[in-house]
Amino acid sequence: ETGVTQTPRHLVMGMTNKKSLKCEQHLGHNAMYWYKQSAKKPLELMFVYNFKEQTENNSVPSRFSPECPNSSHLFLHLHTLQPEDSALYLCASSQAGTATEAFFGQGTRLTVV
């Protein structure tokens, strides 16, 4: 148990579906992140939230929409995805301003069909 919980662990969705990924952290951190991990590619930073405010959007397509209602919860809303969006989506948290040690969830394995 890492203190960062992601649901669901696996998700299969069609290109016209709308779904959401959820992340919850119980570590008292105030920064949360979404990363995408594709096969044979580096971990790609998607979004950063510090104290519930989005501080980074790493040129992510608008079909990915993040939401951070409080410092403990982070969502990634998905709609009209493409097959190339199939990947492992990882949520992480850290103390704001100290991204040296991030704690990751187990990830959601997303398959777009």
Partner 1 sequence: GQSLEQPSEVTAVEGAIVQINCTYQTSGFYGLSWYQQHDGGAPTFLSYNALDGLEETGRFSSFLSRSDSYGYLLLQELQMKDSASYFCAVGNNAGNMLTFGGGTRLMVKP
Instruction: Tell whether residue 90 is a contact of partner 1 (CB under 8 A).
Output: yes
- Contact segment (CB under 8 A) with partner 1 among 10-18, 62-70, 71-79, 93-101 equals 93-101
Residue 27 backbone dihedrals phi, psi, to 5 degrees: -105, 0
Taking the least distance from each CB to partner 1, the nearer of 31 and 76 is 31
103 sits near partner 1 (criterion: CB under 8 A): yes
Pairing of strands 108-112, 53-57: unpaired
Give which of 89, 91, 78, 70 is closest to 23, Cα–Cα.
Answer: 91
Exactly one of 7, 70, 98, 111 binds partner 1 (CB under 8 A); which one?
98
Using DSSP, how many helices (H) and how many strands (E) does the chain show?
0, 11
Q: What is the residue whose two structure tokens read 């190339």?
A: 84
Q: Which residue ranges make up the site for partner 1 (CB under 8 A)?
A: 2, 4, 31, 33, 35, 41-43, 45, 48, 50, 55-56, 90, 92, 96-107
